[in-house]
């Protein structure tokens, strides 16, 4: 009985050690030759002008805080270049105040494309051809207490997108 239990325990330990399990956010599956990454401003096909600046700076901050890579401004001097494009931006009301009929909650949907390319070889190291992210914010129904929450919502969205993109790049998801 005791040897059977020991055998089962050893077999389970061996199976788990080979399954590829690791803690998310701790891996780095990029080539070891990469030392520098450039993150130029994202291109923008929408009317929301601040969003592309927020995304590029957020991703840069995440890369600096979570990786060993040096972030540089010149894409022609970098080992890899992370390019992005905001392809669509939609904001629409989702909840209405029953008393006034005015919108009280707005849903933002941002569609983007992100690619990390090794500059020397042109090899695509990471790509998300179609990425959708959403953020919701509330609107005050009292005109006297109105504060435009769209900019803070865009900042939250950019922070969340930056974290998920850097995690996806490092983990190759």
pTM of the model: 0.74
We report the CATH number of the domain holding residue 55 as 3.40.50.10610
Place of tokens 């995304």: 55
Residue 1 covered by a domain: no
Residue 143 covered by a domain: yes
**What are the distances in angstroms from CA 103 to CA 21, 94, 146, 147, 151?**
45, 7, 12, 14, 17
Dihedral (Cα; 157, 122, 36, 130), 10-degree rounding = 10
Note down the domain range covering 56: 29-171
Reported as a pLDDT band with limits 50, 70 and 90, residue 8 is very low
Distance CA 106, CA 158 (A): 17
Place of tokens 């325990």: 9
Number of domains in the chain: 1
Q: What is the pLDDT of residues 83-131, one digit of tens each?
A: 999 999 998 888 988 888 888 888 989 999 999 999 999 999 999 999 9
Residue 10 covered by a domain: no
Place of tokens 């500059």: 119
Residue 16 covered by a domain: no
Residue 56 covered by a domain: yes
Phi-psi sector, 45: left (phi>0), alpha (psi -120 to 50), beta: alpha
How many CB atoms neighbour CB 24 within 10 A? 9
Distance CA 162, CA 90 (A): 19
Residue 52 covered by a domain: yes
Q: What is the pLDDT of residues 25-67, one digit of tens each?
A: 445 678 888 999 999 999 999 988 788 888 999 999 999 999 9
- DSSP structure string for 26-89: S---S-TT--EEE-PPPEE-SS--HHHHHHHHHHHHHHHHH-SPEEES-TTT-SEEEEEEEEEE
Residue 22 covered by a domain: no
Residue 6 covered by a domain: no
């Amino acid at each position: 009985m005791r040897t059977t239990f020991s055998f089962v325990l050893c077999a389970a330990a061996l199976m788990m050690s080979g399954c590829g399990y690791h803690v998310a956010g701790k891996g780095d599956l990029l080539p070891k030759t990469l030392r520098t990454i450039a993150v130029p401003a994202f291109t923008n096909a929408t009317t929301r002008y601040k969003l592309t600046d927020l995304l590029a700076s957020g991703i840069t901050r995440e890369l600096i805080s979570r990786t060993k890579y040096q972030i540089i401004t010149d894409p022609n001097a970098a080992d890899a270049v992370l390019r992005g494009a905001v392809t669509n931006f939609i904001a629409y009301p989702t909840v209405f105040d029953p008393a006034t009929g005015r919108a009280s909650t707005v849903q933002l949907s941002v569609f983007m494309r992100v690619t990390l390319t090794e500059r020397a070889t042109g090899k695509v190291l990471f790509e998300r051809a179609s990425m959708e992210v959403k953020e919701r914010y509330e609107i005050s129904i009292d005109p006297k207490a109105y504060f435009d929450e769209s900019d803070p919502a865009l900042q939250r969205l950019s922070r969340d997108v930056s974290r998920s993109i850097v995690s996806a790049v490092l983990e190759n998801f």
